[in-house]
A and B are shown apart, each in its own frame.
Chain A
């Protein structure tokens, strides 16, 4: 058994493997195990339903970070054609934690960008685990401006633990880079679709996530700080991350209930990694729908609606 399965997935994955092995054996030997296989399949289905219909917030966080979960580039390859990656912020450098450039979606020119985590150790290092530096956010802004210039709708894929907290990031103005993107995205004169596909980690996620329509994959999460970070500060104990994840209400369903996002893109039972093709198809439908609905709106109407959407967010009391 490979180690990249989560503890609560293992019994399911093992049972599924057993069914596959049995079927192979039956085929090879020309034996009839139909009934036995059927029984196991019923059991597997029951087990899947048991585990996946009662996921805790922490389990959602684990699924959102799953080592097998499809990343931005996995979707990019399948959903878009003619993608040309463009590099650099024209100020300091290129940040591999953010990838972007013009492409076509079903023939239509769009600008697409997102965070990329990296699959193996070497890739993870190169992409800094998907934690951008200021130059990443500035590259993103440069591409957004390019999209605006040529009237290309912008599609962003959000998947980051957060903006990188390091000396260089502070020296080069991590705060300024994030803040500027928030302001500029709010006023960008093209339609913006935001897809949270994994971890929506704090300001580092938000800096590419101001848009007209914001969707989250079913098992993605969105939070003001990582569960570990919150636990370390408020519980004085990182091991309390599951409690922090529950308390902060980070799941897609929570965020939808709060009225902060516009919808949830369903994942196959067990998560996106169990059937990437199905998730990709669901995303394709959403992108097509967005482009159909938003492409022809007058820009000023689009921007007023975008502003109003964010001005509504917040829960407070008010007395005269």
Chain B
């Protein structure tokens, strides 16, 4: 959840009360939300935005690894081609709380971003794939019509080109300002993933900090394989909502990657630096096997 009330459902879900989704002065130094150590920005960029001291993985947001950096981490250099970048959010309900949704969109767009997800195609060790990477820095990575549409179209392209699909999630959940349209994107994206599954194309879901609400309760949880970065907050309900409902404090580590692994909800925890290798290995195995069967 960003500090501006973006409309995500997972407010108050940041680790130790820190807020790594909020804008920080774009200085040379960055304070690690995990251990409070002051880190040199240049050095963080070289370690893929992972704290050398406590292994905190900075989220995909304004103050952390950018979508472009994340794509660079996973794909062969220069291979990414953006698709559906012209799809952007509008204000279907004429929504206004303390601020107009239109103004929130304008402010988010002013950062140079266009939407809470970037989609396209690229290669991983020469293997063509389609990919979507969410951006927590754009209205908390919240699920909007445009987000659902971009992800759905990208999945349709994967289906058409018979490539694997990879989605890297980072989201506070629904974009409430789009009301029922936001909710229905869960059904829309999940319905198409059913077709990907039926076509026996691999879909790998990568969960980063944080992934909550409607995104977790749809495409993020539907991967053939679900990989998560260490320490990521992953859940359905926001922690404040749960605490208010059950009237007690949540246990340490609740809804973190390690908690999900222990409960059998994800396949592996993969440090950012190793993500590319694991992804490549799995996708090649699945696609090789699929090709052998197709030839038989």
Q: Using CB atoms and an 8 Å cutoff, list the residues of chain A in contact with chain B.
A: 163-167, 169-176, 178-180, 182-184, 186-187, 202-203, 206-207, 209-210, 222-225, 229-230, 233-236, 243-244, 247-250, 254-255, 258, 260, 306-307, 310-311, 313-320
Docked-complex contact B90 and A316, CB < 8 angstroms? yes
Docked-complex contact A179 and B149, CB < 8 angstroms? no
Docked-complex contact A224 and B90, CB < 8 angstroms? no
Q: Which residues of A contact B145 (CB under 8 A)?
A: 313-316
Docked-complex contact B192 and A178, CB < 8 angstroms? no
Q: Which residues of B contact A172 (CB under 8 A)?
A: 263
Given A224-B183, A225-B174, A233-B7, answer yes or no on A314-B149 (Cβ-Cβ < 8 Å): yes
Asked if B278 is at the interface (CB within 8 A of a chain A CB), the reply is: no
Asked if B250 is at the interface (CB within 8 A of a chain A CB), the reply is: yes
Asked if B119 is at the interface (CB within 8 A of a chain A CB), the reply is: no
Q: List 22 A-B contacts (CB under 8 A).
A: A165-B242, A169-B236, A170-B255, A171-B259, A175-B221, A176-B265, A179-B221, A180-B222, A186-B194, A210-B191, A222-B180, A222-B183, A224-B214, A229-B241, A234-B98, A234-B177, A235-B97, A310-B184, A313-B184, A314-B149, A316-B87, A316-B90
Docked-complex contact B186 and A184, CB < 8 angstroms? no
Docked-complex contact A233 and B176, CB < 8 angstroms? yes
| Closest B residue to A314 using CB positions | B145
Given A163-B236, A234-B97, answer yes or no on A307-B179 (Cβ-Cβ < 8 Å): no
Docked-complex contact A167 and B242, CB < 8 angstroms? yes
Q: A166-B237, A175-B216 are in contact. List 5 more A-B contacts (CB 8 A).
A: A183-B190, A187-B195, A225-B9, A235-B97, A311-B152
- CB proximity of A237 to chain B, nearest CB, Å: 10
Given A175-B217, A311-B191, answer yes or no on A165-B241 (Cβ-Cβ < 8 Å): yes
Docked-complex contact A314 and B98, CB < 8 angstroms? no
Q: Which residues of A contact B63 (CB under 8 A)?
A: none
User: Which residue of B179, B219, B263 is within 8 Å of A224 (Cβ)?
Assistant: B179
- CB proximity of A145 to chain B, nearest CB, Å: 14
Contact with A along B176-204 (1 / 0, CB 8 A): 11111111111110111111011000000
- CB proximity of A192 to chain B, nearest CB, Å: 12
Q: Which residues of B contact A176 (CB under 8 A)?
A: 221, 265
Docked-complex contact B195 and A178, CB < 8 angstroms? no
Asked if B148 is at the interface (CB within 8 A of a chain A CB), the reply is: yes
User: Which residue of B87, B180, B255, B265 is within 8 Å of A250 (Cβ)?
Assistant: B180
Q: Using CB atoms and an 8 Å cutoff, list the residues of chain B in contact with chain A.
A: 5, 7, 9, 11, 86-90, 92-93, 95-98, 144-146, 148-149, 152, 174, 176-188, 190-195, 197-198, 214, 216-222, 235-238, 241-242, 245-246, 250-251, 254-255, 259, 263-265
- CB proximity of A277 to chain B, nearest CB, Å: 30
Q: Which residues of B contact A307 (CB under 8 A)?
A: 191-192, 195
Q: Which residues of A contact B236 (CB under 8 A)?
A: 163, 165, 169-170, 174-175, 178, 203
Number of A-B contacts (CB under 8 A): 206
Docked-complex contact A167 and B146, CB < 8 angstroms? no
Docked-complex contact B194 and A247, CB < 8 angstroms? no
Q: Which residues of A contact B222 (CB under 8 A)?
A: 179-180, 183
Docked-complex contact A165 and B149, CB < 8 angstroms? no
Q: Which residues of B contact A260 (CB under 8 A)?
A: 180-181, 184
Q: Which residues of A contact B217 (CB under 8 A)?
A: 163, 174-175, 178-179, 203, 207
Given A174-B236, A175-B236, answer yes or no on A206-B7 (Cβ-Cβ < 8 Å): no
Docked-complex contact A186 and B97, CB < 8 angstroms? no
Q: Which residues of A contact B95 (CB under 8 A)?
A: 247-248
Docked-complex contact A255 and B180, CB < 8 angstroms? yes
Docked-complex contact A310 and B183, CB < 8 angstroms? no
Q: Which residues of A contact B195 (CB under 8 A)?
A: 187, 307
Docked-complex contact B93 and A173, CB < 8 angstroms? no
Docked-complex contact A248 and B179, CB < 8 angstroms? yes
Q: Which residues of A contact B238 (CB under 8 A)?
A: 165
Docked-complex contact A249 and B180, CB < 8 angstroms? yes
Docked-complex contact B181 and A318, CB < 8 angstroms? no
Which of the listed residues A171, A224, A235, A319 has the most CB atoms from chain B within 10 Å of its own CB? A224
| Closest B residue to A205 using CB positions | B183
- Give complex CA distance A182, B214 in Å: 12
Q: Which residues of B contact A234 (CB under 8 A)?
A: 5, 7, 97-98, 176-177
- CB proximity of B9 to chain A, nearest CB, Å: 6
Q: Which residues of A contact B5 (CB under 8 A)?
A: 233-234, 236
- Give complex CA distance A51, B254 in Å: 48
User: Which residue of A167, A178, A206 is within 8 Å of B246 (Cβ)?
Assistant: A167
